[in-house]
Chain A
Amino acid sequence: MTALSDFPRIHLLAAAPDNGARMQRVDPQDAATLKQIASEHKGTWIAVVDEGVRLWPESMNLTPEPALLGTTTCIGYLSRNEMNGFARQSGLRLCRRDRISKTGKLPEAELLVPKFIGHWSVNAGPEAAFCAGVAETSAKVAELVDGPAARQDLGLWASLGADTRNGIWWLLGVNLALLYPDHAKRRWAEAKPLSDNPADLALWLTEVAREVRLERSIPVRPMSPEQSRSAKLMLSPWPAPHFWTRFAEDCARLGEDGAKLAADYLRAADYIWGPLPG
């Protein structure tokens, strides 16, 4: 067994369709089914594809390092938010079969490899895209420490996405979440009637973005589909520096082989992002 494609694969419900012959769809809360799946397979590891994630075929050719597979740690790979190109901590998890078998639960990723394995999106309809925009933005804001860098980050986060399916609804959800952190989701009732009138929807987005700039000091500038598509192609193909730092810290705790792998990753990060703090 070498590449990620060789592992038996579970797709959590609402995961994007995939034609992989070895995949099964599972409700993550369904302990009995999870235990049954774990008992049906023979290998040590099972790959779990998180909800809303569409794997890139080429990423399945990645081979996890032995230092990672020699542990009982749940290993996570990142996905890329299809709407705005940002990294998302869920993607694919390699879980020990015996852990699933014993508990009937899927462990959370305990170590995140700074590599993207696919796109994440929940944008099949306007409401799904709007709600995803609200939820993802709330989660992102909770992660950030307020300051100029965080605002800059949020500005870009809230400007990209118009090139994707229902992207304008995503953008509206994102910007409303920045403007009304506590009750953005309720604004769907106001937004929904605009689905028949794209021009009004675009105007509302422009107005909300203006208010976000003025009231939250976040430099959001919603981009057109053409601008958004091109801008996402400019972004680094690798996750941001903090993912590398965190991986190296977690990896160094995995013994001698882990420390060696951490050093390899930090050297690689030096070439992408320059010397990382610490």
Chain B
Amino acid sequence: MRADRQQSDRVLVADLPIVFMSFDESWAEAGWRDLKAKAPHARRVHGVAGLDACHKAAARIAEADWFITVDADTIIDPAFLDVKVPKTLLNKNFRLQWHCRNEVNGLVSGNGSLKLWPTALAMKMRTHEAAPASKVSIDHEIDQIVPGQSMGVQMPGCYSRTNPAQTPYHAFRSGFREGVLLGHLLVRQTELHGAESPLAEFLMGLLRIWCALGRQAENGLWLIYGARLGLRLPLEQSDWDPRHVNSYGWLTEFWRRRIYPRFVHGGARHLTSDNAWSEGLLEPECDVLKDWINARLPIALADYSAEQSALLVQSGAFSPRRPGALIDAVGYRFMKGAGVIRNINFAREAFETASVLGNAAALNNLARLHDSEEVDDASPKEAERLYRAAIALGNRYAPYHLAQLLKNRPSQSGVRKSEIAKLLDLSRKRGFDPEGAAVP
């Protein structure tokens, strides 16, 4: 490692261990060669069953405090190696991730993303097949590894692309797993906050793409079918165990016995070939699933021809949809010093970034920094402006905090008292009432 790199407040990605993780992907050798050509120091984990075990194997082989994982169907952009990660974020509780672009459906999301793990956190997690039997774990759920401290941190930029549809089976598996995961999360969100909550709408936005686009790609229809079926199962059958998707053995059997034969003329007699399936048999099943989903979710799912799908996928008009909330969450950790060393400047920058993206909580948090004089240029006037901006965008805490700010001002005219009362009333209406019954 060069001396100038060590002295910087940032760490170059190229200086971090990179681990390629493959299991049964027939194209894995090509992906591995591509990664080695770009990052000669990359190491590889192959054939480890179970996603928890696979990541632990990657942590061990990295032989370092941090390591980056690359999935077998992900190709990195060489520019990723030039990314400089702020040391402030190299925290034992933070798992960092960079979005990935899905070449089949154009989605830019966490699926297939590059991830930077603290080794100790990866070794501590118990997810997927390693989760307690009583728990449904089909994602890494970073925030639950060390509750209140660990978290997934979204990083800016997209430095990879993934093509998970390189065989019919892998396309189906990828779509199915994502459909189950997103459907499972959607059910949970809808139960907690209703179908119109921002997170439920975000999940439906992802599903709208997974369940509709990709027909232009080889095996893309299998990806769509898998996503639709994966969405339907947890919604339709409450006793169906979504943890099945953690087992590639189960998924392979499911594919061989229940899925693939239905779409092959002549059934099981022709199962030796990946190319024996019939689009004419698969299409009607996709239609049935689309109608089923549209009848139950406000997702406005549509079918597209291969040409229309290509037009949308190649438009470059898709982007991550809710980075503001994720950036604000990181800022909040640094403001509170929860699981990290408190860093007000870092928190402020995160809030300012999230504010640009219209995040009301970030505006409120920025106002708090001014209000509590935690920034060098703290100003009550700026705090008031930011509180008002947060209130306008619907933040639930800002009315109460602005009321306190106004209360603490020396002169209390009738107009001001009336405004304070209105703010406290608004705060109660938005569900934040720390003074409870004491407030008239």
Task: Tell me the A residues contacting B by CB distance below 8 Å.
Answer: 2-3, 5, 61-63, 66, 115, 152-153, 155-156, 159, 219, 221, 223-224, 226-227, 229-231, 233-238, 240, 264-265, 267-268, 270-275
B301: A residues at CB distance < 8 A: 230
Contacts of B319 in A (CB 8 A): 236-238, 272-273
Which of B158, B308, B355 gathers the greatest number of chain A CB atoms within 10 Å?
B308
Q: Does A219 contact B312, Cβ atoms closer than 8 Å?
A: no
B394: A residues at CB distance < 8 A: 61
A227-B154 CB under 8 A given contacts A234-B208, A264-B353, A271-B357 = no
CB-based nearest A residue for B351: A264
Whether the Cβ atoms of B315 and A270 lie closer than 8 Å is no
B311 near A156: Cβ-Cβ < 8 Å: yes
**The one of B158, B304, B353 that contacts A268, using a Cβ cutoff of 8 Å:** B353
The residue that A221 contacts in the complex, of B205, B311, B317, with Cβ under 8 A, is B311
If over half of B's interface residues share one DSSP class (helix, strand or loop), that class is named, otherwise mixed; here it is mixed
State the interface size on chain B (CB cutoff 8 A). Answer: 44
Bound complex: CA A152 to CA B315 (Å): 7
What is the chain B residue whose CB lies nearest that of A219?
B311
Enumerate chain B residues within 8 angstroms of A264, measured Cβ to Cβ. Answer: 352-353, 355-356
CB proximity of B378 to chain A, nearest CB, Å: 15
29 contacts between A and B (CB under 8 A): A2-B389, A3-B392, A61-B392, A63-B388, A153-B315, A156-B312, A156-B315, A159-B308, A159-B311, A221-B305, A221-B308, A224-B302, A226-B300, A226-B302, A227-B308, A231-B312, A234-B208, A234-B212, A234-B317, A234-B318, A236-B318, A238-B357, A264-B356, A267-B349, A270-B156, A271-B320, A271-B353, A274-B159, A275-B156
Report the minimum CB–CB distance from A158 to chain B (whole Å): 10
Q: Give the contacting residue for B302; candidates A2, A152, A231; CB below 8 A.
A: A231
Question: Are A234 and B209 CB-contacts (below 8 A) given A271-B320, A271-B323?
Answer: yes
**If A153-B315, A221-B307 touch, does A270 touch B393 (CB 8 Å cutoff)?**
no
Specify which of A2, A234, A265, A271 is in contact with B312 (CB 8 Å cutoff): A234
Q: Specify which chain B residues have a CB less than 8 angstroms from the CB of A221 in the assembled complex.
A: 305, 307-308, 311
Asked if residues A265 and B300 are in contact (CB atoms below 8 Å), the reply is: no
Contacts A227-B308, A230-B208, A271-B357 known; 8 new A-B pairs at CB < 8 A:
A223-B308, A229-B300, A233-B205, A264-B353, A267-B349, A268-B323, A268-B354, A270-B156
Number of A-B contacts (CB under 8 A): 115
B317-A235 in contact (CB<8A): yes
Interfacial chain B residues near A273, Cβ < 8 Å: 319
Flag whether B314 is at the interface (Cβ < 8 A): yes
Q: A219 and B317 in contact (CB under 8 A), knowing A226-B302, A233-B205, A275-B156?
A: no
The residue that B321 contacts in the complex, of A230, A237, A274, with Cβ under 8 A, is A237
Q: Which of A66, A234, A235, A267 contacts B385 (CB 8 A)?
A: A66
What separation, in Å, do the CA atoms of A233 and B318 have in the docked complex? 10
A102 CB, nearest partner CB in chain B, Å: 29
Q: Is the CB of A234 within 8 A of B156?
A: no
Which residue of A152, A227, A236 contacts B304 across the interface (Cβ within 8 Å)? A227
A245 to chain B, nearest CB (A): 14
User: How far apart are the CA atoms of A61 and B359 in the complex, in Å?
Assistant: 12
- The closest CB in chain A to the CB of B306 belongs to A221
Most B Cβ at <10 Å: residue of A63, A224, A235, A265: A63
Please give, as numbers and ranges, the residues of chain A lying within 8 Å of B310 by CB-CB distance.
219
Q: How far is the CA of A236 from the CA of B158 in the complex (A)?
A: 15
Asked whether B245 is an interface residue with its Cβ less than 8 Å from the other chain, the reply is no
Residues of A within 8 A of B317 (CB): 156, 234-236, 240
Q: Which residue of B lies closest to A272 (CB)?
A: B319
Q: Give Cα distance in the complex from A272 to B385, angstroms.
A: 26
User: Which of B300, B318, B349 meets A230, CB within 8 Å?
Assistant: B300
Give min CB distance, B207 to chain A, whole Å: 11
Q: Determine whether the beta carbon of A152 is less than 8 Å from that of B314.
A: yes
Question: Quick check: is B303 within 8 A (CB to CB) of the other chain?
Answer: yes
A127 to B386, CA, bound (A): 46
- Chain B nearest CB, measured from A278 CB (Å): 15
How close is A43's CB to chain B, nearest CB, in angstroms?
16
Nearest chain A CB to B195's CB is how many angstroms away?
15
Q: Are B385 and A2 in contact (CB under 8 A)?
A: yes
How far apart are the CA atoms of A159 and B308 in the complex, in Å?
9
CB-CB nearest in chain B for A271: B323
CB–CB A272/B320 < 8 A: yes
Q: Give the contacting residue for B154; candidates A226, A230, A271; CB below 8 A.
A: A271
Give the residue of B318, B356, B389 whose beta carbon is less than 8 angstroms from that of A235.
B318
Known: A61-B392, A221-B311, A234-B318. A271 touches B156 (CB 8 A): yes
Contact between chains at A63 and B392 (CB < 8 Å): yes
Q: With A and B bound together, what is the CA distance between A227 and B321 in angstroms?
A: 20
How far apart sit A271 and B302, CA to CA, in the bound complex (Å)? 28
B380 contacts the other chain (CB 8 A): no
- What A residues does B213 contact at CB under 8 A? 234
Query: B157, B302, B305: which contacts A270 (Cβ < 8 A)?
Result: B157
Q: Contact string, B322-361, partner A, CB cutoff 8 A, digits 1/0?
A: 0100010000000000000000000001001111111000
Task: Give the distance to chain A from B111, nearest Cβ to Cβ, in Å.
Answer: 15
Are the C-beta atoms of B156 and A3 separated by less than 8 Å? Answer: no
Nearest chain-B residue to A149 (Cβ)?
A: B316
A73 to chain B, nearest CB (A): 18
- What is the chain A residue whose CB lies nearest that of B154? A271
Q: How distant is A70 from chain B, measured CB to nearest CB, in Å? A: 12
Query: Closest A-chain residue to B211, C-beta based?
Result: A230
Q: Chain A residues near B311 (CB, 8 Å)?
A: 152, 155-156, 159, 219, 221
Give the nearest-CB partner of A265 in chain B.
B356
Residues of B within 8 A of A270 (CB): 156-157
Task: Give every chain B residue within 8 A of A62 (Cβ-Cβ).
Answer: 358, 392-393
CB distance B388 to A2 under 8 Å?
yes
Max chain B Cβ within 10 angstroms of own Cβ: one of A155, A156, A274: A274
Q: How far is the CB of B338 from chain A (nearest CB, A)?
A: 22
Report chain A residues within 8 Å CB of B208: 230, 233-234
Write the nearest CB–CB distance from B204 to chain A, whole angstroms: 9
* CB-defined contacts of A63 to chain B, threshold 8 Å: 385, 388-389, 392
Contacts of A226 in B (CB 8 A): 300, 302
Q: Which residue of B lies closest to A5 (CB)?
A: B392
Cα–Cα distance between A152 and B394 once the two chains are bound (Å): 38
A3 to B303, CA, bound (A): 40
User: For residue B204, which residue of chain A has the nearest CB?
Assistant: A233
| CB nearest neighbor in A for B310 | A219
Convert B183-215 into 0s and 1s, putting 1 for each residue whose CB lies closer than 8 angstroms to a CB of A: 000000000000000000000010011001100
